[in-house]
Structure 1
């Protein structure tokens, strides 16, 4: 069972660096259908977008793709427990393999995402973003957020007053709590250096680093988690958008506009509707990694490796008539395009 361990504090400032990155996981949810993410909350079967869900005392409807009603388009909504029990987890598989095959020297794993702070509430739920080790016994790095108090803290594996464990790290000035405003979207980033154990957090009003005890622990999985909370009687929501996990040589959190929806502006498909051949229009400096064709129900129809995309064309002659999504994975991120096979 996944769970975090202990909590404590300390911090120091770091500077800004830049480097080339390898994007491993990327999801803006715009290519997914409104409604339940999946049909299985045991964590055994992937749902839309290759997302796995696991929950105690919960249902599939607690993991939803919803329309934000604004410029963000579709976002992920997780519904928390209204009691003292019940935890929710959602993640993608594959980080272990991607990390093992990363470019030599890309020793930082960086996780970035948009997060909604939510309204005033008395819910004791706790919303976390956690980078796990291979057996889920260690949260190497991440964030923890309390909807009731709007306090955001960092998570880092360290050797503190209670020994080795995952500790809370103050993100406010001079060892104080960082309190986020209500009902706003913020972009947050956390980076972990597998060689040195450094953990760095960046977001609105903070840019803080800490050297923990995670050196040598490879990142295995990134989870968005919502815990019940001690004494809880009220549910809360966790909203997430534009998630990205990547490997990089030198920390580069939030240094550019990392809204993955901008990738959609430089990748296009035509003709649409299509009969036999779907063509991709993209700039020469974008390197394709793979393509996926997904049906309107979120089922993966086929995967196409970059080597098989001759002349940036996709054979659609074997598809039945209907609407599909083309997931385009590249070194610049992921773009999802809807198309109709006629």
Structure 2
């Protein structure tokens, strides 16, 4: 079925050995609303081409945001009622790597001289991760990519890093760390990059779809990890106090060792960041937790000496 155009229409970090691996961010896009194109968790989408988009897999695309201008969409092929095809004029496979959903970038349609007054691409679309603070060593990002179909060519993409606590809005905000333009195979393939050049910094990872008249670029199972000596991490955590714990309204972070706190993230049992606060290098900080639900959380504290994690209980 040819691609269609309707014109006008965290897992918690865990110490597992003397060298501790901490999962800073892990997301398979399963918890987000089907067919959302913005506002899913702390991810950012940047639609720089501002183009309407193709659809496919059915003659009647009825899912929300079908053909709408978008960068990436949370795509659920089951509820979209699309079909796979292994032969014929169009080969396609919508299957996720895990679960039911993934982030996808449909082919962009640009004004031009093509059919019905439109041309094809290129895509200029970013999927930008939530902010994380990297550790001291062995920082790494990995994710899985796939081209939905080989019929119109393999999808093309780049990988970039945004540094700082702001919000990126253009391609110039990123440092591209991939070599040239990458292509996504038609089977799920893992992409991995070392991030130690940014150790200790607040970063976001950007995945940039730059395909030209292809079909659908798929991203699943995103993960950022760090690995540092457990002894050093435990030593740092022991120098910082978090109280009261349990807490009802305010949690205070303090230390007597001139450790400067830059930021705090509070993460729930499902690995979602429910609160993020930025500080300007302070030795004592207060975090208001009155607006989060009662339960057990992990508080990741970033500082000039590194990151540490404390368990807190909200009453």
TM-score, structure 1 length as denominator? Answer: 0.43
The one of the two structures with greater contact order (alpha-carbon pairs below 8 A, sep at least 6) is: 1
- TM norm structure 2: 0.46
Larger radius of gyration: 2
